[in-house]
A and B are shown apart, each in its own frame.
Chain A
Amino acid sequence: MSDKKNIDHLFQEKFQHFEQQPNPELWYQIESRLQRKNKRFFSFWWISSGAAILIVGLFILYTQKNKSNEVVVDPIITTSPKKNPQQETPKDFFQKTSPTEKGEVFITGEQEKGKIQYKKRNDHTGSEKILKSRIAHTVIKNNEQKKDNSPSISGEVDQLVKTNEVSEVIKKKIPSATITSLSTTKDSLKNQYTNQQKKELTPHQDDKSLDMNNKDKKWSVRPLIALSTMANTSNSPTDVAIRNNNTFGNTAVNIGISVSYKLSNRFILQSGVLTQKISFNTENVVLLNQFSTTNTPSSVSLRSGINYSFSERTDLVNSASETYSIVDLDAELNQAMHYIEIPIEAKYRIANSKKIRSHLIGGFSSLFLQKNEIILLSDVLGRVDIGAANNLNSVNFSGNVGLDLDYQISSNLFLNVNPMLKVHLNTFSRGSNGYQPYFIGVYSGITYQF
């Protein structure tokens, strides 16, 4: 007699403890896909950080090189075939300090080619030393014309510097007429030199290198292009139903033009017109048919014919009693907001050298909403424009900070790189879920100064 068995029980018994090892290669494929995902997330940061490190590195190298080339010593006499504008010659000094009053006494050293390099010091002794060495130098040069060059002179200059006994040596070496004229001008010279020294001690000598060339050029204009992204990674503002889902910013390209006005050597006022494209995706969205749930999206105005609602994955997994009609288990929602941006920013110069200058930037932007859309990215349905956010303010503001690096490529043109952080202040009118957009952009452009 044959034994009958319920077919359901047959399969249930057989498959109750059914396990089968997959191909060992499979894990390596999963592993590489997991790594790829992480790489995608960091790609923007790699590019931007790489660019920033390169620029900062070049800047540091450049400034280090400049420093190492500078010979900084206590007063010594050197000779140089060419006049270097950065290094002040005694001739320059005298022409600057005493162009009229009794200047003729010192202009006798006009033919000399020597110059003095000196280390800046804040202490009084140092400045006195410099003053004395200058006086001595000039006096010696005067003597050179009257007597033949003597090998003892340089030794005496050293002595002058070391002993601070200027008047003693002057008396020994210089004719009395010259001493008289020197003594009458000594006080005025001292005053003038003190003033000169004050000027030198406050702004660096280097500061003048770029400004000397562009003294009267107050305006500059800069067409620019920027790569930008959003720094936020949590609390999606797209809809309350997916508030706990992760977000990630997409890289966008922005363009614009910026105009600057130089208020002083240190301060620049800057404005312009720029685009600001914000685009971020909310991940792991479960797309449901609206008839299967009472939820309808609250912050998204759906286009006609689109009848979806969203859910977090945990809602489905953790609630065994509820049932849903899932359209896509792992969709993404892309939210895009495009603004026209009008910034007003102040730039404060923090570094300046022959070719490179750098500013700190702070300010605000007014943002005017131009485009507002929400796109569904689904493996099942493809790319679908489902509607727009209904919780965005049409006028928005941001607080901006950043750093600006200019590299001089000609007398009027600068290559410019400018990383900026812009924190939005009132993007959403409601239901933002604590999401405050942090916009990060690396702007670059060519500045034309006029």
Chain B
Amino acid sequence: MKIVSHIRLNELINNCCQNDPSAQAKIYQFFAAKLFALCLKYSQNKEDAEDVLQDSFLMIFKKIKQYDHKGSFEGWIKRITINVALQKHRQMSQLRVLRQGELENEIVYVENDQEIGIDVLLGFIQQLPNQYRLVFNLYVLDRFSHKKIGEMLQISEGTSKSNLSRARLILKEKITEYQIKNQKASHVR
């Protein structure tokens, strides 16, 4: 992970305000990996994630003059990236309200006796239906409230909760499937 001092970062941000190409390249180098990880979580596949990352950096450089240096810069660019990802989904297909009966916001447990690789988990997230994936990411990984998610996605709080529960159940199912498959494979060996 690249480390950048606060002073150096501020200097780079100021240079980016002047459209300095080398400062823009540095900012990209420092944050590309983090933001690409974010894009991967919110997208269906790597190609979509790359599109989101491109648009996010263009947006970041366009808006960088508006960054007020009060909050964390990383938080600010992550928020822009999430918004770009959400906007991308709106563009591609209007998010439909997925409501197949209300579900309790109950805790879902999975077996923890096997190590599961992050790529596998990422694949499971990407395979979720669009709206479930967005809600799961926003709530579980990026810690937004259901109220906020409802407003961001223009859905009700209840729908957000319900979508989250369904997402959890789908993920549990996939994880269990994966674990059983792995167990069988190890027995064969």
Over the window 1-30 of chain A, the binary record of Cβ atoms lying under 8 Å from chain B Cβ atoms (1 yes, 0 no) is 011111110111011001111110011011
Contact B21 A34 (CB under 8 A): yes
Closest chain-B Cβ to A38's Cβ sits at a distance in Å of 7
- Given known contacts A18-B37, A330-B59, is B151 in contact with A323 (CB within 8 Å)? yes
Asked if B154 is an interface residue, CB under 8 A from chain A, the answer is: yes
- A380 to B112, Cβ gap below 8 A? no
Residues of B within 8 A of A100 (CB): none
How many Å lie between the Cα of A29 and that of B121 in the bound state? 29
A318 in contact (CB, < 8 A): yes
Q: How far is the CA of A309 from the CA of B68 in the complex (A)?
A: 23
Select which of A5, A7, A312, A329 is within 8 A of B87 by beta carbon.
A329
Smallest CB separation, B2 vs chain A (Å):
10
Q: Which of B125-178 contact A (CB under 8 A)?
A: 125, 140-141, 147-148, 151-152, 154, 168, 171-172, 175
Among A300-330, those with CB < 8 Å from B are 312-314, 316-318, 320, 323-326, 328-330
Which residue among A27, A30, A284, A329 has the maximum number of chain B CB atoms within 10 Å of its CB?
A30
Assess whether A38 is in contact with B121, with CB atoms less than 8 Å apart: no
Check if B107 sits within 8 Å of A6, measured CB to CB.
Answer: yes
- The interface bits of chain B over 81-124 (1 if a CB of A lies within 8 angstroms of the residue's CB, else 0) are 00110110011000000000000000111111100101001100
Determine how close the nearest CB of chain A comes to the CB of B15; give it in whole angstroms.
14
- A31: Cβ under 8 A from any B Cβ: yes
B141-A380 in contact (CB<8A): no
Residues of A within 8 A of B68 (CB): 314, 318
Q: Are A10 and B50 in contact (CB under 8 A)?
A: no
B32 neighbours in A (Cβ, 8 Å): 21-22, 26-27
* B residues less than 8 Å from A312 (CB atoms): 66
A8 to B152, CA, bound (A): 21
* Given A7-B109, A15-B118; A379-B61 close (CB under 8 Å): no
| Nearest-CB residue, chain B, relative to A26 | B50
Q: B interface, how many residues as a size bin? A: 35 or more
Contact assessment for A20 and B37 in the assembled complex, using a CB-CB cutoff below 8 Å: yes
CB distance from A444 to the nearest CB of B (A): 33
A391 within 8 A of B: no
**CA A289 to CA B90, docked complex, whole Å:** 14
A179 and B113 alpha carbons, distance in the complex (Å): 134
The answer to whether B58 touches A34, judged by C-beta atoms less than 8 angstroms apart, is yes
Please state if B121 and A14 are interface contacts (CB–CB under 8 Å).
yes
A7 near B151 with CB under 8 A, answer: no
Nearest A residue to B169 via CB reads A7
Q: Taking the complex as formed, is A83 at the interface, i.e. its CB lies under 8 A from any CB of chain B?
A: no
Cβ-defined contact, B58 with A33, below 8 A: yes
Q: Could you tell me how many residues of chain A have their Cβ less than 8 Å away from some Cβ of chain B?
A: 48
Cβ-based interface call for A43 (8 A): no
Asked if B90 contacts A317 (CB within 8 A), the reply is no
Q: What distance in Å separates the Cβ of B19 from its nearest Cβ neighbour in chain A?
A: 7
Cβ-based interface call for B187 (8 A):
no
Residues of A within 8 A of B180 (CB): none
**Beta-carbon nearest neighbor of B167 in chain A:** A7
Query: Nearest chain B CB to A243's CB is how many angstroms away?
Result: 13
Nearest to B107 among chain A residues (CB) is A6
Please give, as numbers and ranges, the residues of chain B lying within 8 Å of A3 by CB-CB distance.
111-113
* Residues on B with beta carbons closer than 8 Å to the beta carbon of A330: 59, 62, 87
B39 to chain A, nearest CB (A): 8
B6-34: CB near A (< 8 Å → 1, else 0) gives 00000000000001010011001000111
As a 0/1 sequence over residues 325 to 345 of chain A, the CB contacts with chain B under 8 angstroms (1 = contact) are: 110111000000000000000
Q: Given the known A-B contacts A11-B141, A379-B87, are A34 and B61 also in contact in the complex, defined by CB atoms under 8 Å?
A: yes
Closest to A15 in B: B141
Q: How far is the CB of B138 from the nearest CB of chain A, in Å?
A: 13
Hey, what's the 0/1 contact readout for A31-48 against B, CB within 8 Å counting as 1?
101100110000000000
Q: Is the CB of B141 within 8 A of A21?
A: no
> Are B108 and A323 within 8 A (Cβ)?
no
Contact between chains at A7 and B59 (CB < 8 Å): no
> Are B83 and A326 in contact, CB atoms less than 8 angstroms apart?
yes
A34 in contact with B24 given A8-B140, A325-B151, A330-B59 (CB within 8 Å) = yes
B113→A11 contact, CB < 8 A: no
Q: Which residues of B contact A2 (CB under 8 A)?
A: 111-113
Closest-by-CB residue of A relative to B112 is A5
> Which residue of chain A has its CB nearest to the CB of B19?
A38
- Point out the residue from A6, A20, A284 that lies within 8 Å of B108, measured CB to CB: A6
Query: Contacts A11-B140, A27-B28 known; A292 to B151 CB distance under 8 Å?
Result: yes
- Beta-carbon contact of A318 and B70 below 8 Å: yes
CB < 8 Å: which of A4, A18, A31, A326 contacts B112? A4
Q: How far is the CA of A317 from the CA of B80 in the complex (A)?
A: 8
Report chain B residues within 8 Å CB of A379: 87, 91
Contact of A7 with B171 at beta-carbon distance under 8 Å, contacts A12-B140, A26-B50, A312-B66 already known: yes
Q: Does B4 contact A (CB under 8 A)?
A: no
Question: A330 vs B55: C-alpha distance in the bound complex, in angstroms?
Answer: 11
Identify 13 residue pairs between A and B in the complex whose beta-carbon atoms are under 8 Å apart, listed by A's number. Answer: A3-B111, A4-B110, A6-B109, A7-B108, A8-B107, A10-B116, A15-B121, A19-B33, A22-B33, A312-B66, A317-B79, A324-B151, A329-B83
A residues at B contact (CB < 8 Å): 2-8, 10-12, 14-15, 18-23, 26-27, 29-31, 33-34, 37-38, 244, 283-284, 289, 292, 312-314, 316-318, 320, 323-326, 328-330, 379-380
Q: Which 3 A-B pairs have the closest CB atoms?
A: A5-B112, A19-B33, A4-B109
